[in-house]
Amino acid sequence: MLTIGYIGNGKSTNRYHLPFSLNRDQLNVKTIYARNLDKNEWDHIPDVNYTDDVSTLMNDEEIQLVVVCTHTESHYSYAKMALDHGKHVLVEKPFMLTQEEAISIFQYAKEKNLVIQCYQNRRYDSDFLTMKKVIESGKLGDLLEVEMHYDYYRPEIPNNTSHFSKYNSYLYGHGVHTIDQVLSYFGKPDTIRSDVRQLLGEGRMNDYFDLDFYYDSLKVSVKSSFFRLKPRPSFVVYGKRGVFVKQTEDRQEEHLKLFYLPKGHADFGVDLPQHYGVLTYLDDEGTYHEEKVVSEIGDYARVYDDIYQAIVHGKDKVIKDDETIMAMGILEQGIAACQ
Protein backbone atom coordinates (compact mmCIF):
# COMPACT_ATOMS: atom_id res chain seq x y z
CA MET A 1 0.00 0.00 0.00
CA LEU A 2 1.24 3.48 -0.95
CA THR A 3 -0.23 6.26 1.20
CA ILE A 4 -0.76 9.64 -0.48
CA GLY A 5 -1.25 13.22 0.62
CA TYR A 6 -2.36 16.01 -1.75
CA ILE A 7 -1.36 19.66 -1.67
CA GLY A 8 -4.23 21.61 -3.22
CA ASN A 9 -7.95 20.90 -3.32
CA GLY A 10 -8.99 22.45 -6.61
CA LYS A 11 -9.83 21.18 -10.08
CA SER A 12 -6.45 19.54 -10.63
CA THR A 13 -6.70 17.35 -7.52
CA ASN A 14 -10.40 16.56 -7.78
CA ARG A 15 -10.82 16.13 -11.54
CA TYR A 16 -7.48 14.83 -12.79
CA HIS A 17 -6.02 12.94 -9.84
CA LEU A 18 -8.47 11.61 -7.26
CA PRO A 19 -10.71 9.73 -9.76
CA PHE A 20 -7.62 7.69 -10.69
CA SER A 21 -5.75 7.31 -7.40
CA LEU A 22 -9.03 6.25 -5.75
CA ASN A 23 -9.42 3.62 -8.47
CA ARG A 24 -6.33 1.63 -7.46
CA ASP A 25 -6.44 -0.84 -4.56
CA GLN A 26 -2.73 -0.41 -3.84
CA LEU A 27 -3.15 3.34 -3.17
CA ASN A 28 -4.50 4.97 -0.02
CA VAL A 29 -5.45 8.66 -0.13
CA LYS A 30 -5.13 9.85 3.47
CA THR A 31 -4.88 13.66 3.58
CA ILE A 32 -5.67 16.69 1.42
CA TYR A 33 -4.23 20.07 2.33
CA ALA A 34 -6.00 23.28 1.26
CA ARG A 35 -5.34 26.84 2.38
CA ASN A 36 -9.07 27.55 2.63
CA LEU A 37 -11.28 24.72 3.85
CA ASP A 38 -14.40 26.90 3.53
CA LYS A 39 -14.38 26.55 -0.25
CA ASN A 40 -16.95 23.90 -1.16
CA GLU A 41 -16.64 23.61 -4.95
CA TRP A 42 -15.80 19.93 -4.59
CA ASP A 43 -17.42 17.36 -2.34
CA HIS A 44 -15.19 15.98 0.37
CA ILE A 45 -14.08 12.39 -0.12
CA PRO A 46 -15.29 10.08 2.67
CA ASP A 47 -12.57 8.84 5.05
CA VAL A 48 -10.05 11.41 3.78
CA ASN A 49 -8.61 13.94 6.23
CA TYR A 50 -8.87 17.57 5.08
CA THR A 51 -6.55 20.11 6.71
CA ASP A 52 -5.46 23.73 6.34
CA ASP A 53 -2.20 23.00 8.17
CA VAL A 54 0.41 21.75 5.74
CA SER A 55 2.58 20.47 8.60
CA THR A 56 -0.15 17.93 9.40
CA LEU A 57 0.51 16.33 6.03
CA MET A 58 4.27 16.75 6.06
CA ASN A 59 4.78 15.35 9.56
CA ASP A 60 2.58 12.30 9.01
CA GLU A 61 4.99 9.37 8.82
CA GLU A 62 2.37 7.19 7.11
CA ILE A 63 2.27 9.46 4.05
CA GLN A 64 4.91 8.31 1.57
CA LEU A 65 3.93 10.26 -1.55
CA VAL A 66 2.99 13.95 -1.74
CA VAL A 67 1.18 15.10 -4.90
CA VAL A 68 1.54 18.82 -5.67
CA CYS A 69 -1.53 20.23 -7.45
CA THR A 70 -1.12 23.98 -6.94
CA HIS A 71 -0.24 26.93 -9.19
CA THR A 72 3.10 26.44 -10.91
CA GLU A 73 4.69 29.29 -8.96
CA SER A 74 4.58 27.20 -5.76
CA HIS A 75 5.61 23.84 -7.22
CA TYR A 76 9.29 24.13 -6.34
CA SER A 77 8.77 25.23 -2.74
CA TYR A 78 6.18 22.54 -1.98
CA ALA A 79 8.21 19.84 -3.71
CA LYS A 80 11.33 20.78 -1.74
CA MET A 81 9.32 20.87 1.49
CA ALA A 82 8.04 17.36 0.82
CA LEU A 83 11.53 16.07 0.02
CA ASP A 84 12.84 17.68 3.21
CA HIS A 85 10.25 15.63 5.11
CA GLY A 86 11.31 12.39 3.44
CA LYS A 87 8.38 12.16 1.03
CA HIS A 88 8.39 11.07 -2.60
CA VAL A 89 6.76 13.66 -4.87
CA LEU A 90 4.50 13.77 -7.93
CA VAL A 91 4.14 17.26 -9.41
CA GLU A 92 1.51 18.54 -11.82
CA LYS A 93 2.48 19.90 -15.24
CA PRO A 94 4.43 21.83 -16.37
CA PHE A 95 6.45 20.65 -13.34
CA MET A 96 8.53 23.74 -12.46
CA LEU A 97 8.78 27.36 -13.60
CA THR A 98 12.10 26.89 -15.37
CA GLN A 99 14.47 24.26 -16.66
CA GLU A 100 16.96 25.37 -14.00
CA GLU A 101 14.42 24.64 -11.24
CA ALA A 102 13.68 21.23 -12.76
CA ILE A 103 17.38 20.28 -12.82
CA SER A 104 17.79 21.52 -9.24
CA ILE A 105 14.83 19.60 -7.78
CA PHE A 106 15.75 16.36 -9.56
CA GLN A 107 19.27 16.62 -8.15
CA TYR A 108 17.93 17.38 -4.68
CA ALA A 109 15.64 14.33 -4.78
CA LYS A 110 18.55 12.17 -5.92
CA GLU A 111 20.62 13.37 -2.96
CA LYS A 112 17.73 12.47 -0.67
CA ASN A 113 17.31 9.07 -2.38
CA LEU A 114 13.68 9.92 -3.12
CA VAL A 115 11.49 9.76 -6.23
CA ILE A 116 10.14 12.92 -7.85
CA GLN A 117 8.47 13.11 -11.24
CA CYS A 118 6.05 15.10 -13.37
CA TYR A 119 2.41 14.04 -13.77
CA GLN A 120 2.45 13.48 -17.53
CA ASN A 121 -0.93 11.74 -17.72
CA ARG A 122 -1.39 12.52 -21.42
CA ARG A 123 1.01 9.71 -22.25
CA TYR A 124 -2.01 7.56 -21.50
CA ASP A 125 -4.45 9.33 -23.83
CA SER A 126 -6.41 6.91 -26.01
CA ASP A 127 -5.68 8.80 -29.23
CA PHE A 128 -1.92 8.93 -28.54
CA LEU A 129 -1.80 5.22 -27.67
CA THR A 130 -3.76 4.42 -30.83
CA MET A 131 -1.37 6.46 -32.96
CA LYS A 132 1.55 4.49 -31.54
CA LYS A 133 -0.24 1.21 -32.27
CA VAL A 134 -0.78 2.19 -35.91
CA ILE A 135 2.84 3.30 -36.38
CA GLU A 136 4.13 0.08 -34.85
CA SER A 137 1.92 -2.02 -37.12
CA GLY A 138 4.23 -1.00 -39.99
CA LYS A 139 1.31 -0.48 -42.38
CA LEU A 140 2.20 3.17 -42.98
CA GLY A 141 5.73 2.34 -44.07
CA ASP A 142 8.54 4.73 -43.26
CA LEU A 143 7.22 7.76 -41.36
CA LEU A 144 7.40 11.16 -43.04
CA GLU A 145 5.22 13.52 -41.02
CA VAL A 146 3.11 13.56 -37.85
CA GLU A 147 0.65 16.33 -36.99
CA MET A 148 -0.67 16.64 -33.44
CA HIS A 149 -3.40 19.16 -32.68
CA TYR A 150 -4.84 20.34 -29.37
CA ASP A 151 -7.47 22.92 -30.31
CA TYR A 152 -10.24 24.80 -28.48
CA TYR A 153 -12.81 27.39 -29.33
CA ARG A 154 -12.67 29.42 -26.13
CA PRO A 155 -12.22 33.02 -27.30
CA GLU A 156 -13.54 34.32 -23.97
CA ILE A 157 -10.34 33.23 -22.23
CA PRO A 158 -7.84 35.31 -24.28
CA ASN A 159 -10.44 38.07 -24.74
CA ASN A 160 -10.81 38.42 -20.96
CA THR A 161 -7.07 38.31 -20.29
CA SER A 162 -5.56 41.77 -20.65
CA HIS A 163 -1.91 41.03 -19.90
CA PHE A 164 0.81 38.56 -20.81
CA SER A 165 1.92 35.93 -18.30
CA LYS A 166 4.75 33.56 -19.17
CA TYR A 167 3.75 30.84 -16.74
CA ASN A 168 0.00 31.06 -17.39
CA SER A 169 0.46 31.00 -21.14
CA TYR A 170 -1.24 28.57 -23.51
CA LEU A 171 2.15 27.04 -24.31
CA TYR A 172 3.02 26.34 -20.67
CA GLY A 173 -0.48 25.17 -19.75
CA HIS A 174 -1.32 23.03 -22.78
CA GLY A 175 1.77 22.71 -24.96
CA VAL A 176 3.44 20.69 -22.24
CA HIS A 177 0.96 17.85 -22.94
CA THR A 178 1.80 17.32 -26.58
CA ILE A 179 5.48 18.25 -26.20
CA ASP A 180 5.87 15.44 -23.68
CA GLN A 181 4.09 13.01 -26.00
CA VAL A 182 6.55 13.87 -28.76
CA LEU A 183 9.61 13.51 -26.55
CA SER A 184 8.41 10.30 -24.91
CA TYR A 185 7.84 8.51 -28.21
CA PHE A 186 10.11 10.09 -30.80
CA GLY A 187 12.93 11.15 -28.48
CA LYS A 188 15.15 14.22 -28.63
CA PRO A 189 14.79 16.07 -31.96
CA ASP A 190 17.67 17.27 -34.06
CA THR A 191 16.17 20.77 -34.26
CA ILE A 192 12.98 22.60 -33.24
CA ARG A 193 11.22 25.50 -34.93
CA SER A 194 8.84 27.53 -32.74
CA ASP A 195 6.01 29.87 -33.76
CA VAL A 196 4.38 31.08 -30.52
CA ARG A 197 1.93 33.96 -30.88
CA GLN A 198 -0.47 36.37 -29.22
CA LEU A 199 -3.28 36.51 -31.76
CA LEU A 200 -4.92 39.46 -29.98
CA GLY A 201 -1.75 41.54 -30.12
CA GLU A 202 1.41 42.40 -28.22
CA GLY A 203 1.12 42.33 -24.44
CA ARG A 204 -1.88 39.98 -24.52
CA MET A 205 -2.20 36.32 -23.64
CA ASN A 206 -0.27 33.69 -25.60
CA ASP A 207 -3.16 31.89 -27.31
CA TYR A 208 -1.50 30.02 -30.20
CA PHE A 209 1.55 27.87 -30.81
CA ASP A 210 3.03 25.82 -33.62
CA LEU A 211 6.17 23.77 -32.91
CA ASP A 212 8.01 21.65 -35.47
CA PHE A 213 10.33 18.86 -34.31
CA TYR A 214 12.78 17.53 -36.92
CA TYR A 215 14.26 14.00 -36.88
CA ASP A 216 16.28 13.06 -39.97
CA SER A 217 13.52 12.57 -42.58
CA LEU A 218 10.65 12.86 -40.07
CA LYS A 219 8.86 16.05 -39.07
CA VAL A 220 6.53 16.12 -36.04
CA SER A 221 4.30 19.18 -35.63
CA VAL A 222 2.44 20.26 -32.50
CA LYS A 223 -0.22 22.91 -33.16
CA SER A 224 -2.81 24.51 -30.87
CA SER A 225 -5.14 27.50 -30.88
CA PHE A 226 -7.88 28.99 -28.70
CA PHE A 227 -9.73 30.17 -31.82
CA ARG A 228 -10.57 26.94 -33.68
CA LEU A 229 -14.36 26.78 -34.01
CA LYS A 230 -13.89 23.41 -35.68
CA PRO A 231 -10.86 21.57 -34.29
CA ARG A 232 -8.30 19.96 -36.54
CA PRO A 233 -7.79 16.19 -36.25
CA SER A 234 -6.19 15.09 -33.04
CA PHE A 235 -3.54 13.10 -34.96
CA VAL A 236 -2.57 12.81 -38.61
CA VAL A 237 0.29 10.44 -39.45
CA TYR A 238 1.79 10.22 -42.94
CA GLY A 239 4.04 7.40 -44.08
CA LYS A 240 5.43 6.39 -47.47
CA ARG A 241 2.59 3.91 -47.94
CA GLY A 242 -0.36 5.44 -46.14
CA VAL A 243 -2.01 7.85 -43.73
CA PHE A 244 -3.79 7.55 -40.38
CA VAL A 245 -6.30 10.20 -39.24
CA LYS A 246 -7.71 10.27 -35.71
CA GLN A 247 -10.25 13.06 -35.65
CA THR A 248 -11.38 12.98 -32.02
CA GLU A 249 -9.31 13.25 -28.87
CA ASP A 250 -9.20 11.05 -25.78
CA ARG A 251 -12.58 11.00 -23.99
CA GLN A 252 -11.42 10.75 -20.36
CA GLU A 253 -11.65 14.50 -19.81
CA GLU A 254 -15.09 14.57 -21.45
CA HIS A 255 -16.34 11.97 -18.97
CA LEU A 256 -14.62 13.60 -15.99
CA LYS A 257 -16.40 16.88 -16.69
CA LEU A 258 -19.70 14.97 -16.59
CA PHE A 259 -18.68 13.36 -13.27
CA TYR A 260 -18.82 9.98 -14.99
CA LEU A 261 -15.86 8.52 -13.15
CA PRO A 262 -13.66 5.48 -13.80
CA LYS A 263 -14.59 3.70 -10.58
CA GLY A 264 -17.51 1.42 -11.37
CA HIS A 265 -17.72 2.36 -15.07
CA ALA A 266 -15.95 -0.05 -17.41
CA ASP A 267 -16.74 2.19 -20.38
CA PHE A 268 -15.11 5.27 -18.84
CA GLY A 269 -13.18 7.15 -21.51
CA VAL A 270 -13.73 4.41 -24.08
CA ASP A 271 -14.17 5.42 -27.73
CA LEU A 272 -17.30 4.41 -29.64
CA PRO A 273 -17.04 3.33 -33.30
CA GLN A 274 -17.76 6.88 -34.48
CA HIS A 275 -14.59 7.99 -32.68
CA TYR A 276 -12.28 5.45 -34.30
CA GLY A 277 -9.50 6.71 -36.54
CA VAL A 278 -9.19 5.76 -40.21
CA LEU A 279 -6.12 4.02 -41.62
CA THR A 280 -5.59 4.17 -45.39
CA TYR A 281 -2.63 2.36 -46.93
CA LEU A 282 -1.19 0.29 -49.79
CA ASP A 283 0.01 -3.19 -48.87
CA ASP A 284 3.10 -4.97 -50.25
CA GLU A 285 1.15 -5.97 -53.37
CA GLY A 286 -0.06 -2.42 -53.95
CA THR A 287 -3.63 -3.20 -52.89
CA TYR A 288 -5.55 -0.25 -51.45
CA HIS A 289 -7.01 -0.59 -47.94
CA GLU A 290 -9.15 1.74 -45.86
CA GLU A 291 -10.19 0.61 -42.40
CA LYS A 292 -11.27 1.91 -39.02
CA VAL A 293 -8.85 1.30 -36.17
CA VAL A 294 -10.36 0.33 -32.83
CA SER A 295 -9.00 2.80 -30.29
CA GLU A 296 -6.72 1.80 -27.47
CA ILE A 297 -8.10 2.40 -23.98
CA GLY A 298 -6.59 5.39 -22.19
CA ASP A 299 -6.12 5.41 -18.43
CA TYR A 300 -4.51 8.26 -16.50
CA ALA A 301 -4.22 5.99 -13.45
CA ARG A 302 -1.27 4.37 -15.21
CA VAL A 303 0.88 7.31 -14.06
CA TYR A 304 0.10 6.20 -10.50
CA ASP A 305 0.89 2.61 -11.45
CA ASP A 306 4.27 3.79 -12.74
CA ILE A 307 5.23 5.80 -9.67
CA TYR A 308 3.98 3.02 -7.38
CA GLN A 309 6.36 0.61 -9.09
CA ALA A 310 9.22 3.12 -8.80
CA ILE A 311 8.65 3.82 -5.09
CA VAL A 312 7.58 0.40 -3.78
CA HIS A 313 9.53 -1.93 -6.08
CA GLY A 314 12.44 0.26 -7.16
CA LYS A 315 11.60 0.09 -10.88
CA ASP A 316 12.90 2.73 -13.27
CA LYS A 317 10.63 5.73 -13.69
CA VAL A 318 8.61 5.66 -16.93
CA ILE A 319 8.57 9.46 -17.08
CA LYS A 320 12.29 10.17 -17.26
CA ASP A 321 13.99 13.16 -15.65
CA ASP A 322 15.76 14.17 -18.87
CA GLU A 323 12.45 14.19 -20.78
CA THR A 324 10.92 16.57 -18.23
CA ILE A 325 14.03 18.78 -18.25
CA MET A 326 14.00 18.85 -22.06
CA ALA A 327 10.30 19.79 -22.11
CA MET A 328 10.92 22.67 -19.69
CA GLY A 329 13.68 23.98 -21.96
CA ILE A 330 11.40 23.83 -25.01
CA LEU A 331 8.70 25.77 -23.13
CA GLU A 332 11.15 28.46 -22.07
CA GLN A 333 12.63 28.79 -25.54
CA GLY A 334 9.21 28.87 -27.22
CA ILE A 335 7.63 31.51 -24.97
CA ALA A 336 10.66 33.82 -25.18
CA ALA A 337 9.29 35.50 -28.34
CA CYS A 338 6.17 36.70 -26.48
CA GLN A 339 5.87 39.64 -24.10
pLDDT digits (tens, 9 = 90+) for 298-313: 999 999 999 999 999 9
Q: Where in the chain is the domain with CATH 3.40.50.720?
A: 2-119
Its CATH class, for the domain covering 2-119, is alpha beta
pLDDT at 337: 82
For the cut 80, the answer to whether the pLDDT of residue 50 exceeds it is yes
Full 3-state SS string of the chain? CEEEEEECCCHHHHHHCHHHHCCCCCEEEEEEECCCCCCCCCCCCCCCEEECCHHHHHCCCCCCEEEECCCHHHHHHHHHHHHHCCCEEEECCCCCCCHHHHHHHHHHHHHHCCCEEECCHHHHCHHHHHHHHHHHHCCCCCEEEEEEECCCECCHHHHCCCCCCCCCCHHHHHHHHHHHHHHHHHCCCCEEEEEEECCCCCCCCCCEEEEEEEECCEEEEEEEECECCCCCCCEEEEECCEEEEECCCCCHHHHHHCCCCCCCCCCCCCCCHHHCEEEEEECCCCCEEEEEECCCCCCCHHHHHHHHHHHHHCCCCCCCHHHHHHHHHHHHHHHCCCC
142-146: average pLDDT: 98
Q: Where in the chain is the domain with CATH 3.30.360.10?
A: 122-298
pLDDT at 261: 95
98 neighbors 332 (Cβ within 8 angstroms): yes
- In the structure, what pLDDT confidence band is assigned to residue 29 with cuts at 50, 70 and 90? very high
Query: What are the tens digits of pLDDT across the range 231-271?
Result: 999 999 999 999 999 999 999 999 999 999 999 999 999 99
Q: Say what the pTM is.
A: 0.95
CA angle 76, 82, 86 (to 5 degrees): 140
Sequence-separated (6 or more) residues with CB below 8 Å from residue 280: 242, 243, 244, 288, 289, 290
For the cut 80, the answer to whether the pLDDT of residue 167 exceeds it is yes
- In the structure, what pLDDT confidence band is assigned to residue 91 with cuts at 50, 70 and 90? very high
How many other C-beta atoms are found inside a 10 Å radius of the C-beta of residue 225? 21
Distances (CA, A) of 140 to 136, 137, 184, 233, 284: 9, 8, 20, 18, 11
286-306: average pLDDT: 98
- In the structure, what pLDDT confidence band is assigned to residue 147 with cuts at 50, 70 and 90? very high
What superfamily does domain 122-298 belong to in CATH?
Dihydrodipicolinate Reductase; domain 2 (3.30.360.10)
Question: Residue length, the chain?
Answer: 339
pLDDT at 39: 78
Q: What is the CA radius of gyration of the chain?
A: 21
